[in-house]
Chains A and B, each alone.
Chain A
Amino acid sequence: MGFDLHPSILPYWEKALNSHSNVSSWDKLDDSNDYIYRIKRVRGKDILVLASDCYEYSLSDFFTRNDLIGQGAMIYMAKPESKYDLEVADVAKQERVTIGMLGEILGALNLDAHWNWESKDRKERRKR
């Protein structure tokens, strides 16, 4: 966990938030360990999203995640080349946390129980 992200990543993410139909506003929290965004939604409660710099999001990363990322929060895998295992996604789901890549997070922002939603990509991964 940390701030090791390519400088173009967060502006792109912020631009995506600005044009999201269910995001009314957002701000970046002043956190010393991670990039964390508080997103106010048009429909639904506010959501905290952690932009992770992990190459591969593992169980260890989830179990030692930032204390602010509790129930209803999201973990955005910000590096385009990063990955996460389905097992960690399932553990996160039990704690009502969504883990996903950009498209998955943007899709999940439309939902209240976003941790229950699975992208087409993730469903296909389960079949394999």
Chain B
Amino acid sequence: MSPKLDLNQILLTKLNSFLNPNYVNKIILLTFTFGAGLIGRNFVLDLLLALEIITPDFVVKLQFSDGASNTVFYVGVVLVFLSLWLFYQAHFTDQEKSSQSFKSLKKAAPFLIRLMEENERIFKECGPNSSSHHQDELRMNFSVWNNAKSEIIVPNNDQIYKVISTLKGLSVGESRIIAKMKSHIEHFKVHVTKGHINYSQHQFPQEFSDLVYSYKKVSRSHQKKIDRVSSWLKEELNIVDIENIYLFGSFLYNENYHDIDVLIKTESSTHEDIKRVALSIKKIKSEYTASFGEELHISIFSELEKKRFLEFKGKIRNLKEVV
């Protein structure tokens, strides 16, 4: 490994420990050690300050008492108990909370969003990024990522799993998506414990995130933005062949959206027409990026692909009709 790579690894590990501090355990350990030290100090002093000389003729017994020793001893005991209590609060109370059951997915949404946001943050900061020209850095990134997976993401996933396993009264659509999420968590855990297991066919289902976030009310400013994008699309995509335009995906309910998903159905039924309309849409897409600095992720279906369009549309839980 090159010196540059060593330095990068150290910096990344430091960054990881800064972003994901484990101060709680450190404070608990310090409290326990200090308390145990104070208790131990009393015994050591008692041993050192007690002198006994025993002969056949006489016995000399010297005992010095330390006025403060009792206070110090009790402070030590209090600190040890305090550290044990903190340990219980930090490691067992959370588990009890996570095993609580929610009446519906909607009620569980804030709890799940908190865990998913932490996972997402870890994934974005430590997750594998494609760096084809720097294979060594790719390996180094993986070592930080591997640690974050087992220390943070898997425990968070365990909590998500417990919650979604106890939900009742789910709709068919919710059940299907939750089954996918459970499958992802199971495969991800096996992948983490047995690194060579491939879970690419069981990656995090975006549908689950969309579903959970759909229960979160968006802010007024974000709602205005949705309306603004919707109006812009309606005005700019005023092309004869366009039958329907929908917005879908995270943009509708997550202010930290990655891009804006748009679904378009056209009436084009010849290859020439499909190409002509698609080129017009592509041009408008570029104009949007140039004007707003954001990407539109457009899925277009022609009349020839109507069946696929209906299947695709049927799988989307939340759609906002633009046209």
Name A residues whose Cβ lies closer than 8 Å to a Cβ of B: 2, 4, 6-12, 14, 26-28, 35, 53-56, 58-61, 63-64, 80-81, 83, 85, 87, 91, 102
> Is A60 a contact partner of B274 (Cβ separation < 8 A)?
yes
Cα distance A23–B128 when bound, in Å? Answer: 23
- 11 A-B residue pairs with Cβ-Cβ distance under 8 Å, sorted by A, are A4-B295, A7-B124, A7-B128, A11-B128, A12-B198, A28-B132, A35-B130, A61-B278, A64-B275, A64-B279, A85-B308
Residues of B within 8 A of A61 (CB): 278, 300
19 more contacts with CB within 8 A, not counting A28-B133, A60-B274, are A7-B127, A9-B200, A9-B203, A11-B129, A12-B198, A26-B132, A55-B299, A55-B312, A56-B308, A58-B300, A58-B305, A59-B304, A60-B301, A61-B300, A64-B279, A64-B282, A80-B201, A80-B203, A87-B304
Asked whether A58 lies within 8 Å of B295 as measured between CB atoms, the reply is: no
Residues in A whose Cβ lies below 8 Å from that of B299? 54-56, 58
Please tell me if the beta carbons of A56 and B203 are within 8 angstroms of each other in the complex.
Answer: no
A8: chain B residues at CB < 8 Å are 127-128, 200, 203
- Whether B281 is near chain A, meaning CB under 8 Å from some CB there, is yes
Interface of A is mostly: mixed
A91-B124 Cα distance, complex, nearest whole Å: 38
Instruction: Judge whether B275 and A63 touch: CB under 8 Å.
Output: yes
B34 part of interface (Cβ distance < 8 Å):
no
A2 to B281, CA, bound (A): 14
